[in-house]
Amino acid sequence: MQLGKVYLVGAGPGDPDLLTIKAYNLISAAGCIVYDHLVNPAILDYARSDAEIIYAGKQSGKCAMRQEAINALLVTKTTEHEIVVRLKGGDPFVFGRGGEEAETLVDCGIEWEVVPGISSGVAAAAYAGIPVTQRGLSTSVTFVTGHEDPTKSTSTINWQHLAKGTDTLVFFMGVGHLADIADSLMQHGRAANTPLAVIQWGTYQHQVTHVTDLVSVRELLACEEIRPPAIIVIGEVVRMRETLRWFDKATAIAEETRQASDLSPA
């Protein structure tokens, strides 16, 4: 039997315009698409009308399909379709468990390929006006999971290194542990006044950015309802948002224009 090929495709951070050309071409050609929760549904509009579309999303406290089942599904679908797209938010190999799926495909002798996507860890910060590196401010950036494997008995995060050894920190899936993250960094030597940004729904039109510092995180959480999806950026580069918040300004101008148009006489 001739088996199909699986493409582990990054859908980018949310804005469909940030999809790569290769990702678009594969989505348009796929017989089957297995997609995650953080994939913008608008991207699925590019799929063939006869494509098999399967939701395999994971949310906090909710799981449409366990990872083992997803792995097995990808293998099964290669017996039914020539092109199978495993569509993931951001980049498949940046906290997307794409490596685990690739290992399964290798073990089963199935042809596969990874198509990188724009990581939300870079894109959400950029849309908030925060460059994760900046000459004179940050020559290093570290991506960190804010939600470790719950089966682990102890954390494997090197908090001492993170606190003192890297300029910019970008936490994925960390909103539920934001206060603990701030406390751990301060306990290991990061300055209490280090600026911090929480970017919700990065690159979407309804993106919201909250800025505070490590010592004031609990005050922010008490005042604002912050829910996933969100990216946390910590470091001096966050201060650049004051002058570089281009997306907020563009969105505000567009909204003012829309309102003016609505009020104009027909």
Write out pLDDT tens, residues 15-57: 999 999 999 999 999 999 999 999 999 999 999 999 999 999 8
Return d(Cα 259, Cα 244) in angstroms, integer. 25
CATH number of the structural domain 5-118: 3.40.1010.10
pTM score above 0.85? yes
**Domain limits, CATH 3.30.950.10, in the chain:** 121-248
88 annotated active-site? no
Strands 195-200, 112-115: pairing kind: unpaired
Q: Where in the chain is the domain with CATH 3.40.1010.10?
A: 5-118
Task: Find the catalytic residue in 15, 88, 91, 173.
Answer: 173
Q: Is 58 a catalytic residue?
A: yes
Q: What is the DSSP letter of 48?
A: -
Residues of the chain predicted below pLDDT 50: 150
Catalytically annotated residue among 22, 58, 65, 183: 58
For 10-20, b where at least 16 C-beta lie within 10 A, e where not — what string? bbbbbbbebbb
Which of the following is catalytic: 15, 36, 88, 91? 36
Give yes or no: 77 in active site. Answer: no
Structurally, what CATH architecture does the domain formed by 121-248 represent? Answer: 2-Layer Sandwich (3.30)
